[in-house]
Chains A and B, each alone.
Chain A
Amino acid sequence: MTDPDGCSPEMHDAEARLREELHLAPYRAQLTMLRLAAGVRTERVTVRDHLEDVLDALHDLDEKIADDTLRGRLSSRGRLVLRNDLQIYLSGKRGMKRPYDLRHREALKRLEVAESALSTDDPELWRLRIREAEARAALPDQRKDGIADIRHLLEKKDYPKKWNFLLSLHAMNLAVRLRSDDDDAVAASALEILEREIGQRTERYTAKHPFTLVARANRILHQLHRLEMSHDRRALTATEVTQARALIEDAGALHADRVEALGERSGPAIRSLAHQARALRLAGEHEESRAVAATAYALRGDDPETARDDEVPAILQILMAGALSKRRQTAMANAALLCRQPAAPTVSPQQLRAAVDNEIARAQQMREEILARLASAEDVLGHQVPYRRWMARASKIRDELETGPAQ
């Protein structure tokens, strides 16, 4: 089509983007569907392979439409942004195994590439800048600068006066990051963000929208975290116990809403049960806490057998299933990897060693309690077939605890 007279540069640019979008549309839809497939248990699906295929197809597309791109008929922006989205998603799927400094290097690289390819006012640059700042804030030695940059980028967009989904998302990430700050004033500012976000998200998306429920969950987690920090130092005050009791209600309501929206076995719904168990513990409701934690633990597995075990106290499940569970071994291997990372968030190697030493000291204190619980478990469950393999493991642990290490 020949450009008509009077077609402004803005119109020309808009059309070049739209024409490129027509080429990208099938791949965009595929990415959307494959992301859903990754979260849906159909059959064993190598989603990652399919996503890699989409990346390859985008590469082929570059060649296919190179002439039109050179002539300015098609934009190249959409491909850069979609490729970034794909790579960010694929990187995220590698999850816990990737050290934070590597994540930061990747975010920085993406930003640099985009800065050289896009115009200075392109909104994609803001998105990549705040992602880079968030990755930087996860590095212990750059946490302060990273957080300052996140705040600056939000202010630059006039947040909280202006509000949109993206600003809300990153403001929430900031609030989560500030949750564990030693400074009470900083933590209070995080709570302020959380309260504001719950209000905004409720107004725009309704109270039971999963995005609103995430904000509610983060407020509960924030309050739990602060109360647990107090509880580690001293006994909770009466006011704090009252707060903990309110959190039991909040977590219960959150769980009910998540079950309705997302289903009983969805990760977020099960996590809210775990939040409730933590609140119950803080309020001194130990038995109830263990029962709720056990339910969460039973619901978490893929194996239908585990769903039947909700009557088993959490402590026994952990002790007995732990050594047999491949998933748990993976978790431990990942934890070991993290321990070797120089740049875990907010925890220096010295702090980490101190924390592990502390845990070991506490674990020694647990010994007698564990022995008593294992003995009572054997009494109650030892004769029941479903728990036989667990009991074999439990007996072994008890023997070793009582008699000392095997020579």
Chain B
Amino acid sequence: MSDSRSSQRAGTGVWLGTPSQILEWQKGVNAPRAADGPSAMDWFVRLEALSVDRSKGTNRAPVTVARLASSIGRSRNILDEGAVFTAYQVMRSGLGDGATPLTDVRPQARLYQQARMATFLPYRQGFCEVLDAVPFTAEAAVHGYMRVLLEWARRWPGLTVSVARERASAEALRDPAMRRGRSRIRFAQTTRLSLPLVVEQDIRALVHAAELEASEVASTQVRPIGDEAAVLALLDQITVAASRIVEDETLTSLTATNIARLEVNDALGGALLRVRMRPRDGWMIESSAVEEIRRWLMHPRDGAVAEGRASLALAQLEAEFASLGFVRRVLAKEDDDD
């Protein structure tokens, strides 16, 4: 897929397209292969269930094709199953990937790669539906896409595990410097985990849309969008974030996404600009300022404070101070996150 899959729509925000071949493939995945036979999705669901030993938390291990076939009650040659062979070709073709000879991809990798795509696409569909209904800037869409992706990783941890072939090719592609020192740990984390194939293209398309968006905004606040290296660093960090969420199923997608926050900032040319301040933040700042005045006046440096008459104006000020001082105390006690 090319960057043209995503672009700015004048006045309505960014959108993300899905090639028709992928939609066709998705339809086929959910259809039964024969009467009473399992659909490809049945294979994928069983693959996830077998990939995680739920009695031992989130321990994950790749499942062999033979074990899966046996578990699902299909003992014949696995390559006869459309879910594994023919459908895989359709999916790769839909992704526009003609570079990899498909015969080089082992059945286990085909299964996992399709399972990741098939289970992620419904989340991606929800993402696209919101983009259609609500105007999003491309930079906000990148943040949103990552959160949605991590929602998937949290619920399908078994499918995120890299199979041997994927791990080997990831290692071959990485910068040798990554294998030394502190990078070694992160390197190991990222090679243990694989994301749906569509993710890299989607992220690249959205970052490209953010680039177009920034070029149309004449503002000193917009910094240059990161280069290819920044995008790769971002993808790498998303994988680290995904590895955290599969290790800790209580982790929210927001907190996991924030693991890649600084890389996102690098890729998008700065922190997300259009973050709305919650009204309570405004009140907190105002009441904090009032509290500052109150304390300042409570401890006058000259010690000389005259008594005076109460006027309506003073009563109004008093009420404001009292109200805002109280709001401040309530907020200070209530605000869980700060």
Contacts and interface: CB of A to CB of B under 8 A. Distances in A.
Interface of A: 1-2, 4-7, 10-11, 14-15, 18-19, 21-22, 25-30, 32-43, 45, 47, 50, 95-96, 123, 138, 164-167, 172-173, 176-177, 179-180, 204-206, 208-211, 214, 217-218, 221, 225, 228, 231, 259-268, 270-271, 274, 277-278, 281, 286, 289-290, 293-294, 296-297, 300-302, 314-315, 317-319, 322-323, 327-328, 330-332, 334-336, 338-339, 344-347, 352, 355-356, 359-360, 362-370, 396-397, 400-401, 403-406
A271 B292 contact: no
B289 A352 contact: no
B107 interface: no
Contacts of A323: 316
Given A42-B137, A277-B292, A401-B314, A179 B261 contact: no
Interface stretch (B116-124, B169-177, B193-201): B116-124
Interface of B: 13, 32, 36-39, 41-42, 45-46, 48-50, 54-55, 71-73, 119, 122-127, 129-131, 133-137, 140, 143-144, 147-148, 151-152, 155-156, 244, 248, 250-255, 258-259, 261-262, 265, 270-301, 305-314, 316-327, 329-330, 332-338
Contacts, number: 361
A332 B136 CA distance: 33
Contacts of A18: 45, 48-49, 155-156
Nearest to B333: A345
28 contacts: A1-B37, A21-B155, A25-B126, A26-B122, A29-B129, A29-B148, A30-B130, A32-B148, A34-B134, A42-B13, A96-B327, A164-B251, A179-B332, A263-B271, A266-B277, A274-B284, A278-B288, A314-B292, A315-B296, A328-B286, A331-B279, A332-B319, A334-B283, A334-B327, A363-B314, A363-B321, A365-B298, A370-B317
Given A293-B289, A364-B310, 19 more contacts: A27-B126, A28-B126, A29-B123, A33-B148, A35-B254, A39-B275, A40-B136, A41-B276, A259-B271, A263-B270, A267-B277, A271-B281, A274-B289, A297-B285, A338-B326, A339-B326, A345-B330, A356-B322, A369-B297
Contact of A260 (B271, B272, B300, B312): B271
B248 A345 contact: no
Contacts of B151: 25, 28-29, 32
A167 B249 CA distance: 12
B140 A40 contact: yes
B282 A405 contact: no
B134 A296 contact: no
Contacts of B72: 1, 4
A231 B131 CA distance: 51
Instruction: List the 3 shortest-distance A-B pairs measured between CB atoms, nearest first.
Output: A29-B126, A263-B271, A400-B313
Interface majority SS (helix, strand, loop, mixed), chain B? helix
Contacts of A328: 286, 320, 324
Contacts of A25: 119, 122-123, 125-126, 151-152
A305 B121 CA distance: 44
Contacts of B244: 204-205
A214 B337 CA distance: 6
A19 B42 CA distance: 9
Given A36-B144, A362-B294, A344 B45 contact: no
B313 A364 contact: no
A31 to B, nearest CB: 8
Nearest to A167: B250
A259 B124 CA distance: 30
A360 B322 contact: yes
B286 A331 contact: yes
Given A29-B123, A33-B144, A36-B140, A263 B275 contact: yes
Contacts of B284: 271, 274
B250 A28 contact: no
Contacts of B270: 263
A2 B73 contact: yes
A28 B329 CA distance: 35
Nearest to A4: B73
Contacts of A293: 288-289, 292
Contacts of B298: 362, 365
Nearest to A272: B338
A276 B38 CA distance: 62
B300 A270 contact: no
Contact of B297 (A165, A344, A366): A366
A327 B287 CA distance: 12
Nearest to A273: B285
B261 A297 contact: no
B16 to A, nearest CB: 12
A39 B135 CA distance: 13
A317 to B, nearest CB: 7
A302 B119 CA distance: 40
A159 B38 CA distance: 44
A387 B250 CA distance: 51
Contacts of B323: 331-332, 335-336, 339
A214 B322 contact: no
Given A37-B134, A364-B310, A327 B275 contact: no
Contacts of B292: 277-278, 281, 289-290, 293, 314
A338 B329 CA distance: 12
A401 B311 CA distance: 6
A271 B338 contact: yes
B282 A33 contact: no
Nearest to A259: B271
Contacts of B285: 270-271, 274, 296-297, 300
A267 B292 CA distance: 19
Contacts of A360: 318, 322
A269 to B, nearest CB: 9
Given A40-B275, A293-B292, A331 B327 contact: yes
Contacts of A95: 279-280
Contacts of A11: 49-50
Contacts of A356: 322, 326
A16 B305 CA distance: 73
A176 B335 contact: yes
Contact of A176 (B37, B156, B281, B336): B336
A318 B271 contact: no
Contacts of A173: 336
Q: Which of B262, B270, B277, B330 has the most CB of A within 10 A?
A: B277
Contact of A332 (B251, B259, B313, B320): B320
B327 A335 contact: yes
A274 B323 CA distance: 19
A338 B31 CA distance: 56
Nearest to A266: B275
